[in-house]
Structure 1
Amino acid sequence: MAPQTKEERLALINENLEEVLDPQIIEEVLDSGRNPKIYWGTATTGRPHCGYFVPATKIAQFLAAGCEVTILLADIHAFLDNLKAPIELVNQRAKYYEFVITEMLKAVGVATEQLKFIHGSSFQKSPEYVMDVYRLSSVVSEHDAKRAGAETVKQSNNAPLSGLLYPILQILDEEYLDVDIQFGGRDQRKLFVAAKDWLPKLGYRERAHLINPMVPGLQGGKMSSSDEDSKIDLLDSPETITKKVRKAEAAPRVTEGNGLLAFVEYVLLPTSALLGQKEFRVERHEQEPLVYTEPKQMYEDYANEVLTPQLLKPALSKALIALTAPIRAAFEASPEWQEVTTKAYPPPEEKKKKVKKVKNKGTHYPVRKKDGQGQDGVPAAEQQAAQNQEAGSETQAA
């Protein structure tokens, strides 16, 4: 049941966010008596990883606050971003994303029938939308388009023009999805700021923007779908999860940029709260377990070596294996999902190993004409004896 007061709804919407742009827009919608409409978009490129639990947690909170939530499977965006998703695979990857995001949300207790999934290609090819792409392209400079997509679109010295179209499409999506709010990670901030400036140029209203923190990867830096060592896939086996966590970078006492601690703060604690008991439990040999309900004490214990990497890693592995177990079970029970996975992410073709051809260097003896015969029909044995005798004579002469 949605909270009854405006303050309660705002508290849920804003919880654990890094920043809110134009919060007054959200308040005005609530004051009007209708439910805020929010969209979260994801480009269907690499396989989603456990960092996706961060937006999933917020989506659950938006629903609990009575918001109408749309998930945009941005298939055309995926193609525009430097061909990260070949056009032949875009449709299959969008289907894969819908499968995996649905099961991920179910794993944290979200009633997925309240969600609306939309493929970008279902409206981004309409005449009206395409005309607005042309209109916005005429009033946005190359410099501003490149700047808006700097942290989202792959940049290079001779980048394709599609990378400049990417931010234009994302900003127009706010209008065509008819939402009040766009939600995304910190890497989207420049796009969100550009949206405030660009949409009014076409006579469209501004939207509010909710910015989520980004969880560091297992080796530091951003958790990325394209970097296997930085992420844990939502379908990774328990053995793989344990192995990746064991190898993760986690210097003793260092809390800044610690991907494991951040994962507990932004994924394990919020998801355990959604499932009914907010806690992260760390077992200790012959001692009482450490039980954390808030991240502050966990960070302090880690800085003081009460909580060590040797204690943290197995506890995190255990919690993550339990969290992802329903997703793996759903995958194993769905032949359709398995088929889509194979089509969306076909295994790389094995390169045929070149067989090194052994060069026939021959011998220093004359080539035989036929079995037992040397050059000019002389038997090979006699020819060899003559060569030996000749070599001996040369030695004596010397």
Structure 2
Amino acid sequence: MDDVTDPQEKIKLINKNLFEVLNPEIVEDVVVKQNRPLVIYWGTATTGRPHCGYFVPVLKLGDFLRAGCRVKILLADIHGFLDNLKAPIELVKFRAEYYKFVITALLQAVNVPIDRLEFVLGSAYQLTPAYTMDLFRLSSVVTEHDAKKAGAEVVKQVDNAPLSGLIYPLMQALDEQHLGVDAQFGGVDQRKIFALAKEVLPRVGFGERAHLMNPMVPGLHGGKMSASDPDSKIDLLDPPDAVRRKIRKALAVPMQVEGNGLLSFVEYVLLPAGVLRYGEQRFVVNRRDGEPLAYTEIEQMREDYAADVVRASRRFPPVCSQPAQKPHVRGLRPSSQH
């Protein structure tokens, strides 16, 4: 797909399928008035192995790149360590290399330009004296209550929590300044951290940024897709037998749309990832007793599912086992040794 050149079309592509945008006027000012590339960062803590849910932010990064944005991907190794020791510090470097490999491969799989893409390792700048001093300054203007509230949806919540969980959201806010970006991109679960950044960065003399939020990807059981529940997600390295087993166990009550794990997976992962096979958003259901049903919008599929035109027993083909993606997934397999 070619890059978009018209400023208004760029903004439309940047905002496409987002759940919410904070400070959209910043995007408008950079793209239209300043007529320069919007600089965006997306951070991912290098903890567990990326799963098929990563197609959602990766496909959105593709939109940003096609809109002419400069994209920085923060491999947040320090954040992973701070989040209740999810990633032992001895492993974070290896995991960061693995994440870089996987995300690059996913972007290449959806045919997006990556010449304006930059990977940044968190520990490369978060351990410098300048960053540490700014973190001290920020901690002097943020209360314990506000820091805990900001991280409630992101940082693992435990009784008698360590102080690291309070540092986590402050660092995520501060990263906007030290990465030199106009906007931060993330899931809607990051909203409280984004709101904190918007409020507190000006208190220490730094500017506000725009915040672009994707919807969250529900798990196959209808709840949140979680690394701690292997059956709630499809790992990029899962073999076909494991994929089939997880699909069979997914929550999919016939004619019931709400809380349907499979329909949610189609909406947020399979339908957008149709670009891998068709060059556009598309999902096809093959039927034994009729012509295949092709969907380009989830609304029509929801109506058909509720009317029993299509049902889970006819098996939705999972994204990671589609022929167009098998070579891609096999290509990632050697990195699993990390």
Shorter-normalised TM range:
over 0.9
Aligned-partner residue type, residue 280 of structure 1: F
Question: TM-score, structure 2 length as denominator?
Answer: 0.95
1:57–1:108 Cα contact (<8 Å) kept: yes
Aligned to 1:142: 144
Judge conservation of contact 2:84–2:165 (CA < 8 Å) in 1: yes
SS of alignment partner, residue 17 of structure 1: coil
Is 2:329 the counterpart of 1:328? yes
Cα shift at 1:201? 0.8
**Local SS of the residue matching 2:252:** coil
Task: Give the CA deviation at 1:68.
Answer: 0.4
Taking a change above 3 Å as real, the CA distance of residues 277 and 200 of structure 1, as seen in their structure-2 partners, is closer
Q: Secondary structure of the residue that 1:118 maps to in structure 2?
A: strand
Scaled by the length of structure 1, the TM-score of the pair is: 0.81
Can you list the C-alpha shifts for 1:226-275, whole angstroms capped at 9, x where unaligned? Answer: 22011100111111111111111111122122222122222222222365
Give the distance between the partners of 1:241 and 1:231, measured in 2 at CA: 9
Kept in 2, the 8 Å contact 1:172–1:199? The answer is yes
Name the counterpart of 1:17. Answer: 18
Equivalent residues of 1:50, 1:234 under 8 A apart = yes
The equivalent of 2:112 in structure 1 is: 110
Tell me which residue corresponds to 1:199: 201
Residues 201-245 of structure 1, C-alpha deviation per residue, up to 9 Å, x if partnerless? 110000000110011101121111222011100111111111111
| 1:111 positional shift | 3.1
Aligned to 2:41: 39
| Aligned equivalent of 1:7 | 8
Which stretch shifts more, 263-272 or 155-164? 263-272
Question: How far off is 1:320 after superposition?
Answer: 3.3
Look up the match of 2:174.
172
Distance 2:166 2:229 in 1: 24
Give the secondary structure class of the aligned counterpart of 2:90: helix
2:310 alignment counterpart: 307
Residue 324 of structure 1: CA displacement?
4.0
1:1-398 superposed matches below 5 A: 1-30=2-31, 31-273=33-275, 276-311=279-314, 314-317=315-318, 319-322=319-322, 324-332=325-333, 334=334, 337=335, 341-342=336-337, 344=338
Runs of 4+ in 1 over 4 A off after TM superposition: none
Alpha-carbon distance between aligned partners in 1 of 2:212 and 2:259, rounded to the nearest angstrom: 22
Q: How many residues align?
A: 334
**Matched residue SS, 2:329:** helix
Task: Give the unaligned 5+ runs of structure 1.
Answer: 345-398
- In the alignment, is the contact (CA less than 8 A) between 2:221 and 2:261 conserved in 1? yes
In 2, the alpha carbon distance for the partners of 1:277 and 1:80 equals: 39
Task: Look up the equivalent residue of 1:200 and give its one-letter code.
Answer: P
In the aligned structure 1, how far is the partner of 2:280 from the partner of 2:11? 22
* CA displacement 1:107-130 (0-9 Å, x = unmatched): 222233431111100000010000
Q: Which runs of 5+ in 2 are unaligned?
A: none
Distance 1:114-1:35 versus aligned 2 partners, 3 A rule: closer
* Alignment partners' CA distance in 2, 1:180 and 1:326: 36
One-letter amino acid of the structure 2 residue matched with residue 25 of structure 1: I
Asked if the contact 1:103–1:326 (Cα under 8 Å) also holds between the matched residues in 2, the reply is no
1:264–1:316 Cα contact (<8 Å) kept? no
Aligned equivalents of 1:216 and 1:39: distance in 2?
A: 23
Determine helix, strand or coil for the equivalent of 1:110: coil
| Contact preservation (8 Å) 1:216, 1:258 | no
> Counterpart of 2:94 in structure 1: which amino acid?
Q
Determine which structure has more spread, i.e. the larger CA radius of gyration. Answer: 1
1:141 CA displacement: 0.6
Identity within the alignment, %: 58
The letter of the residue matching 1:143 is H
Gap change, CA 1:274 and 1:238, over 3 Å in 2: closer
2:272 and 2:222 mapped to 1: Cα distance?
A: 22
CA distance in 2, matches of 1:37, 1:274: 26
What code does the residue aligned with 2:292 have? P
- Report Cα offsets for 1:26-84 as digits up to 9, x if no partner: 00001211110001000001111111110011000000111000110000000000001
Per-residue deviation, residues 347-382 of structure 1 (Å, max 9, x unmatched): xxxxxxxxxxxxxxxxxxxxxxxxxxxxxxxxxxxx
Amino acid across the alignment from 2:176: E
- In 2, the alpha carbon distance for the partners of 1:23 and 1:46 equals 32
**Within 2, Cα distance between the matches of 1:130 and 1:324?**
43
